[in-house]
Amino acid sequence: MIRNIIFDMGNVLIKFVPSQIVEELGLTSKEDEELLLKTVFHSGEWHQTDLGTMTELDLWNSVSQKLPKHLLPYAHDIILEWDKDLVPVPGMEDFVRTCKEKGYKIYLLSNASLRQPLYFPRIPGNQYFDGTVISAILGICKPDRRIYEYLLFKYGLKAEECVFIDDLPANIEAANEVGIHGIIFDGDVQNLKKALSPFFS
């Protein structure tokens, strides 16, 4: 019997697509867009903020040494202020609330920086969560199996009583390896409900 539902955050509760973030800056040059993507998101340093080994300020200080001056204001916004306009994934707040009302325990398992607790209260549906595990606080990122094991240990959960919802197949595979049922979220809440129906009583 499933008693616990574990949610990822990016592209499950809120939208987080680096290419889209850069496109929405209004740059007129494709080369500038590609340089920002490469320097900010794809250099490996963004991952270090998820691990907690760099802060966003550390990342900004590093990136500001690598980009041309005209791109610095854009880099500043997407590093230090990307969360000022959080965009919810349609239907997810209602879905989380429904799960809570049905008696399921609700948890968050996310790769995110040390700043995550500051903006989590602005994510619709945050009030329904019974607990969170954030990669930067723990120092371990998905799909490392230890982060799943830590969540189970921290909240006294049985793996077979948990379902994990994430948009990345590698993260779902890692959950399966520790005995947690996993569902890949494609952005469509109706598809998610269908995928979850076999687990729900």
Q: Is the pLDDT of residue 146 over 90?
A: yes
Q: Is the pLDDT of residue 77 over 70?
A: yes
Q: Is the pLDDT of residue 43 over 90?
A: no
Query: Which pLDDT belongs to residue 198?
Result: 85
- In angstroms, the CA 172 to CA 165 distance is 8
Query: Which pLDDT belongs to residue 201?
Result: 59
37-58 in b/e burial notation, b at 16+ Cβ within 10 A? bebbbeeebbebbbbbebbbee
Q: Residue 16's CB: how many other CB atoms inside 10 A?
A: 18
C-beta separation of 110 from 87 below 8 A: no
Query: Which pLDDT belongs to residue 64?
Result: 95
Tokens at residue 163, please?
């379902």
Q: Residue 4's CB: how many other CB atoms inside 10 A?
A: 22
169 cis-preceded (ω within 30 degrees of 0): no
Amino acid identity of residue 101, one-letter, is E
Query: Which pLDDT belongs to residue 138?
Result: 97
- In angstroms, the CA 65 to CA 162 distance is 44
In percent, how much of the chain has pLDDT > 70? 100
- Please state the pTM of the whole predicted model: 0.95
